[in-house]
Structure 1
Amino acid sequence: MTPSSAHASPDGNGTPETSGRWTPRLAGVLLALTWPTQLVTAVVILGSNSLASVAQVFHTTQVVWFTLVVTLVYTLFTPFLFKLGDLYGRKRIMVAVTGLGVVGDSVAAMAGHYWLVLVGRALGAGYGVFPALAYPAIRDIFPAKLVKSASGLLASAGGLVALASPFLAAWLVDGWGYRGGLWFLASVSAVAFVLVVFLVPETPRHAFDSGFDWLGGLTLGGGLSALVYVLGRGDEWGWGSGETLSWITGGALALVAFVLVERSASYPILNLKVLRRRSVATVLLSASWGQAVAFSAPTISILLALYPHIPGVSDGLGWSVHHNAVITAPASVIVFLIGVYSSRLMRRVDARLLARCGLALMALGFLLMGSFHADETQLMWTMCVANLGGGTVVAAAPVMVVGAVTPDEHGQASGTLIMLLGLFSALFGALFFAVLDAHSTVMKGTAFYSDSGYTAALRLGGLLGLVALAIALFIPPLREPERDAAALPVPAAH
């Protein structure tokens, strides 16, 4: 039996657990994987709430880099890190990225110069890749009967993070400025490091190539990073400007070069034959597209809630951050609860069906939100509908990936999913702001948005959800993890 075909053992003695039942040890492994995976959500929320503090402390007009540098760095390095996980075992890479997270956030928190803050943020950005390592690790470690439910639980825990993070961000940033947020991230990254070191077992290798496709990784990561960067800055530069078109052209050419490189590479970083399979292509495209809508469209409702109400100028609701957190709390709880329920249900129900139902509900929720968002009650119930669907989509996505690929292909599939998710999130964010800007009034250098802009942007979110649903309808029947486990040789008794 090759190492790539064996399941790792949570008890570290080389004997796979096959009972299909939850044990305290498996619960500990899931906690150790969930903590740093959902730290990514906390990083985004805390980072967004720290921007004003950073700008005032360092008197910089380049505050956008405080969050953008994190996205760019993990997008660039994702192809390398998931391939290294296949080559040397995923636990080693998990330990490295969580350790760098502690160092990076500590450097950024202590920095006295803005450039050093950015260096720290770049060092810590590696934990953005953690989800691409965690989901394949579940398949390596858990009994086949628990792979679906564990994957769904890992994804749906983001609802609890989304519930707590706005309150936490308000407390930390209001009390200690951006440094409070960064010290908190350094602390929880340290906890993640300890959990991974002591609770996650070594995972098997899934690639035994002696070479590494550096050129393929650079063209893929560089091309995607260029596109993510320009999508984040295009609104500022102007979409028809020479700078914008140069970055788009450069990113597109890099991706074309990647395809050409991979065709002749001795040790390709991505197996394009795998990605061309109908099951893999449709799952990755619908899952990344649908999750990108679920994560990016709620930004519109946040702007609606927090922007002031100025008759004739701004049609925001004028809420405080704390009040908005209270109003959105039920929707965040729904994400977690529906994730837990879906995780249990997917042991008996086809994940494709749940994903399609989730995408339909999410699209309906954003379409309804576009028409009904005048007060707390309307925004609360429409957001609950959207999150009921979005939570189902997030829980079903990793389970569908499990059914689309073999264990040896899971690392590159999860890495590709993370890269596409980042790209689509940047694209949709740019589209939403383009719609809002078309219905805006600029006063003293600040753009304020009309109700027609919020309506159009939210309805666009619903339409994008329907596109993901249309793609999901073409997903063919998927394999069961139990089938892969049954095909494995039985380990010899010792």
Structure 2
Amino acid sequence: MTPTSSSPQLDLAPGARADGRWTPRLVLLLIALAWPTQLLAAGGILGANAMAGVAQTFHTTQVAWFGLTLTLVSTLLTPFVIKLGDLYGKRRVMLAMTALGALGEALAALAGSFWLVLAGRAVAGFYGPFGALSFAAVRDVFPPRLVKSASGIMGSSVGLVALVSPFLAGWLVDTWGYRGALWFLAAATAVAFALVALLVPETPRHAFDSGFDWLGGVVLGGGLTAVVYATGQGQSWGWSDARTLGWLGAGVVALVVFLFVERSSAHPILDLRVLRRRPVALALTAGGLAQTVAFTMPGLAILLALYPHIPGVSAGLGWTAQHNAVVSVSWNLVMFGTGLLVSRYLRFFDTRKVWCAGLVVMAVGYTLVGFFHGDELELILTSCVANLGAGVVVAGAPALVVGVVSRDEQGLGSGMLNMLISLFGAIVTAGAYAALAADSTVVDGTAFYHDTGYSWVFWLGALVTVAALLLSLFIPPLKETAEDEDGRAEAEAPQPA
């Protein structure tokens, strides 16, 4: 039996779980989990807009580390966060993560040198794995009948973030410079801390053994970080450069060593027996690939929009950031609206069929974007098709994970999905830049990209989506949550006369 907590907040949970209807308390609880989760996506957009100001303020050619530092720290810490959440409860770990995230962004905003900015971003990276806990927490604190819809709404709200963030980023950076974006992130993360502290009850512990596999966590996190780092630097170093191959080799060796470390550990940081189950492996890999496309492709499309249009030299559209934000409202609304609709009705349909249909639409959409992206009308029409599928993907992925793992394994499943998205995201981004570089013109040290390169970026997204679809076809029927099964068993049991 799972031990109960003496926390008054946790004692409220059973009453909220009784009937499975949306109540004001559950709506507030969803906001408290969705705000900090989607703040990660907003932070990526704000950070991308702040990079130019950072580079010009500190006169550095290493500005890529502004974003890479946060990504590397987040990747390194993810396995520890998963285990700590199971050991001590997700709410406690979330509070620590949001507090460090707010502190790190504030330090970066106050920094007087580039290296201090990076130090602040490294501290802010402690907040990066928040999504590994928030989606798992949904299953712990929401009524069983609302788990799929709540998870879907949290995932699809990334469309709303993508809709608002470009306008917000432009206003902050244009008015207050890069420090304005960092101060906003610090304040918004502090709000996230308050929401979690006031509205989220403590979750049950899913691991009761106090042992902790520090060696396994370091080896796994270090291996993933090395691979992400090598992939991120491969374009600038060269893929055959000794540094790129060295970091890739070190990462692969560390991941192989991790398998042996976990087998001999009395307190493994990840239960590899769970990951050896075919449904889990297929769902996590397909979910990671598909969400990577849904999250990565819109960011890469910004290159097409903002790069100049110079016949024979650059095939960019030459838009301003403000014009791009206005045009992108269309497909971001499609993504958000589709995600909300799917979230509401997902529990009435076979999740696998809805998921696969979304993948088909997203693959077709990005294939069309690759062919037709020459002006506003073409980009709006084709991107809306792609984001129609992306809305299904971001809403359906959490439900896919819920359907292949038990309640006690939810933290592990969500954490592994987040790690795969980071890993696949680095690889897909590197592949996209390689496609762009293969068809480019360098003028005064700056690379300008031709149309074929942009086309292959979108076709790469379509190909990765097709790979996710092929894997998804082999996922067996998904089970309902344990709580749902228990509820049905009670309902079907003979009642006394």
- The root-mean-square deviation of aligned C-alpha atoms, in Å, is 1.9
Give 2:429's aligned amino acid: G
Residue of structure 1 equivalent to 2:215? 215
Deviations 1:63-97 (A, max 9, x none): 11110001000100000011000000000000000
Does 2:438 match 1:429? no
C-alpha deviation, 1:107, in angstroms: 0.8
Q: Secondary structure at the match of 2:388?
A: helix
Question: Would the aligned equivalents of 2:407 and 2:482 in 1 still touch at CA under 8 Å?
Answer: no
What is the CA–CA distance in structure 1 between the aligned matches of 2:156 and 2:384, rounded to whole Å? Answer: 15
For residue 69 of structure 2, what is the amino acid of its counterpart?
V
Report the equivalent of 2:313.
313
Residue 56 of structure 2 is aligned to residue 56 of structure 1: yes
Structure 1 residue 243 displacement after superposition? 0.5
Task: Report SS of the residue matched to 2:347.
Answer: coil
Deviations 1:211-256 (A, max 9, x none): 1011111111100001111111100000001111100000000000
Match in the other structure for 1:37: 37
Residue pair 1:90, 1:137 contacting (<8 A) in 2 also: yes
Compute the displacement of 1:4 (Å). Answer: 8.4
The CA distance in 2 between the partners of 1:356 and 1:290, in whole Å, is 10
Q: How many angstroms does 1:126 deviate by?
A: 2.0
CA, structure 1 residues 354+13, in 2 after alignment: closer, same or farther (shift >3 Å)?
closer
SS in 2 for 1:441: strand
Moved more, 347-356 or 419-428: 347-356
The reply on whether 1:285 has 2:285 as its aligned counterpart is: yes
Q: Compared with structure 1, are the counterparts of its residues 485 and 100 closer, same or farther at alpha carbon in structure 2 (3 Å cutoff)?
A: farther
1:135 has 2:115 as partner: no
Q: Which residue of the partner structure matches residue 460 of structure 1?
A: 460
Q: Deviations over 1:383-433 (max 9, x none)?
A: 000011011101000001111100111111111100000000000000011
Q: CA deviation at 1:60?
A: 1.1
Aligned to 2:269, what secondary structure does the other structure show? Answer: coil
Distance in 1 (alpha carbons) for counterparts of 2:483 and 2:32 = 27
Work out the CA distance in 1 between the residues paired with 2:180 and 2:300: 27
The aligned counterpart of 2:495 is none
1:443 aligned to 2:443? yes
Give, in angstroms, the shift of residue 483 of structure 1.
4.8
Q: Which runs of 5+ in 1 are unaligned?
A: none
Aligned to 1:335: 335
Identical columns (%): 57
Deviations 1:335-392 (A, max 9, x none): 1111111011211011111110111111111100111111100000100000110111
8 A Cα contact 1:406 1:484, kept in partner? no
The alpha-carbon deviation at position 184 of structure 1 amounts to 0.4
Q: Give the counterpart letter for 1:154 in structure 2.
A: M
Residues 250-265 of structure 1: pairs in structure 2 closer than 5 A: 250-265=250-265
- Structure 1 equivalent of residue 70 of structure 2: 70
Paired position in structure 1 for 2:236 = 236
Deviation at 1:299, TM superposition (A): 3.1
SS at match of 1:347: helix
Q: Which amino acid aligns with 2:108?
A: A
- What's the TM-score, normalizing by structure 1? 0.96
Amino acid at match of 1:410: Q
Residue-pair matches, total? 490
Counterpart for residue 160 of structure 2: 160
Task: Give the secondary-structure state (helix, strand or coil) at the position aligned to 2:195.
Answer: helix
Q: 3-state DSSP class of the match of 1:3?
A: coil
**Equivalence for 1:109:** 109
CA drift at 1:10? 6.2
Q: Which residue number in structure 1 is paired with residue 90 of structure 2?
A: 90
Deviation at 1:318, TM superposition (A): 0.4
Secondary structure at the residue paired with 2:128?
helix
Which letter does structure 2 place at the counterpart of 1:341? Answer: L
1:267 is displaced (CA, Å) by: 0.7
Within 1, Cα distance between the matches of 2:421 and 2:411? 15
Give the residue type in structure 1 aligned to 2:262: E
Counterpart-to-counterpart distance in 1, 2:16 and 2:31: 19
3-state SS, counterpart of residue 404 of structure 1: coil
Distance change (3 Å), C-alpha of 1:13 and 1:335: closer
Query: Which whole-Å CA distance do the structure 2 matches of 1:17 and 1:97 have between them?
Result: 27
Describe the SS at the equivalent of 2:129.
helix
Kept in 1: contact 2:10–2:203 (CA 8 A): no
Please tell me the residue identity of whatever aligns with 2:65.
Answer: W
| C-alpha displacement of 1:2 | 1.8
Quote the offset at 1:147 in angstroms. 0.4
The answer to whether 1:151 aligns with 2:135 is no
Cα shift readout 1:116-156 (whole Å, capped 9, x = no counterpart): 11111111112221111011111000110000100000111
SS at match of 1:405: coil
Distance 2:20 2:130 in 1: 25
2:247 corresponds to which residue? Answer: 247
Distance 1:154 1:95 in 2: 19
Separation of aligned partners in 2, 1:90 and 1:485: 24
Partner of 1:370: 370
| CA contact 1:9–1:17 (8 Å) conserved in 2 | no
Residue 356 of structure 1: aligned partner? 356
1:477 is paired with a residue whose SS is coil
Q: Which runs of 5+ in 2 are unaligned?
A: 491-497
Q: Distance in 1 between matches of 2:54 and 2:467?
A: 38
| Per-residue deviation, residues 432-484 of structure 1 (Å, max 9, x unmatched) | 11011000000000110111111122112111111111111111111112655
Q: Which amino acid aligns with 1:151?
A: S
After superposition, residues 10-49 of structure 1 pair within 5 angstroms as: 12=12, 15=15, 17-49=17-49
* Alignment correspondent of 1:192: 192
Report the equivalent of 2:80: 80
2:351 alignment partner AA: A
What one-letter code is carried by the residue in structure 2 that aligns with 1:65? W
Give the letter for the 1:392 counterpart.
V
Q: Is the 8 A contact 2:32 2:195 kept in 1?
A: yes
1:300, distance to aligned residue in structure 2 (A): 3.3
Query: Residues 89 and 485 of structure 1: is their aligned pair in 2 closer, same or farther, counting only changes over 3 Å?
Result: farther
Cα shift at 1:296? 1.4
SS in 2 for 1:373: coil
Counterpart contact for 1:300–1:454, Cα < 8 Å: no
| Letter of the 1:149 counterpart | S
Q: Which amino acid aligns with 2:80?
A: F
1:10 and 1:29 in contact (8 A); partners too: no
